Structure 1
Amino acid sequence: MSRIGIIGAGKLGTALARLALDAGHEVRISGSPRQAMIELVIGTVLPGAQLLPEADVIAQSDVVILAIPFGKAHSVDFDALAGKVVVDAMNAWEAAGGHLDEDHDGTTSSLVKLRNPEMRLVKSLNHLGYLDLTADAREAGHPLRRAIGVVSDDEEARRVVARLVDSMGFEPVEGPRSASRCLEPGSPIFGRPVSAEELREALGL
Structure 2
Amino acid sequence: MVTVAAGEPMNIGMIGVGMIGGVLTRKLVGLGHQVFVANSRGPGSLGDFARETGAHPVSVREAAKAGEVVVITIPQKAVPNLPEDLMAETPEGTVIIDTGNYYPVQRDGRIAELEQGLTESEWVQKHVKRPVIKVFNSIYFVSLRDRGTPAGTPNRVALPISGDDARAKSVVMALVDSLGFDPVDNGTLKDSWRQQPGTSIYCEDLPAAEVKRRLGEMGTVQTPQHRASAHAKRDLPW
Q: Determine which of 171, 175, 185 is the counterpart of 1:174.
A: 185
Provide the secondary structure at the position in 1 that maps to 2:111.
coil
Whole-angstrom distance in 2 between the partners of 1:93 and 1:15: 21
Deviations along 1:131-178, one digit per CA (max 9) or x if unpaired, are 110010111111142111111121111111111111111111113223
TM-score (norm: length of structure 2): 0.77
- Over 3 Å counting, the alpha-carbon distance change for 1:167 and 1:96 in structure 2 is farther
Matches within 5 A, 1:1-205: 1-33=9-41, 38-44=46-52, 46=53, 48-77=54-83, 79-81=85-87, 83=92, 84-94=94-104, 97-99=107-109, 101-104=111-114, 105-117=117-129, 119-177=130-188, 178-204=190-216
Shift of 1:130: 0.7
Whole-angstrom distance in 1 between the partners of 2:37 and 2:159: 22
Shift of 1:77: 2.8
Is the CA contact 1:70–1:96 (under 8 Å) kept in the aligned structure 2? no
Shift of 1:106: 4.3
TM-score (norm: length of structure 1): 0.89
Is the CA contact 2:158–2:181 (under 8 Å) kept in the aligned structure 1? yes
Aligned AA (1:3): N
Shift of 1:41: 2.9
Bigger Cα Rg: 2
- Over 3 Å counting, the alpha-carbon distance change for 1:35 and 1:58 in structure 2 is closer
Q: Which runs of 5+ in 1 are unaligned?
A: none
Shift of 1:193: 0.3
Shift of 1:80: 3.1
- Over 3 Å counting, the alpha-carbon distance change for 1:96 and 1:70 in structure 2 is farther
Deviations along 1:87-137, one digit per CA (max 9) or x if unpaired, are 1100001587315622343421121122244x1210111100111100101
Q: Which runs of 5+ in 2 are unaligned?
A: 1-8, 220-238
Whole-angstrom distance in 2 between the partners of 1:96 and 1:139: 35
Provide the secondary structure at the position in 1 that maps to 2:149.
coil
C-alpha RMSD of matched pairs (Å): 2.2
Moved over 6 A (4+): none
Whole-angstrom distance in 1 between the partners of 2:102 and 2:158: 21
Whole-angstrom distance in 1 between the partners of 2:136 and 2:38: 18
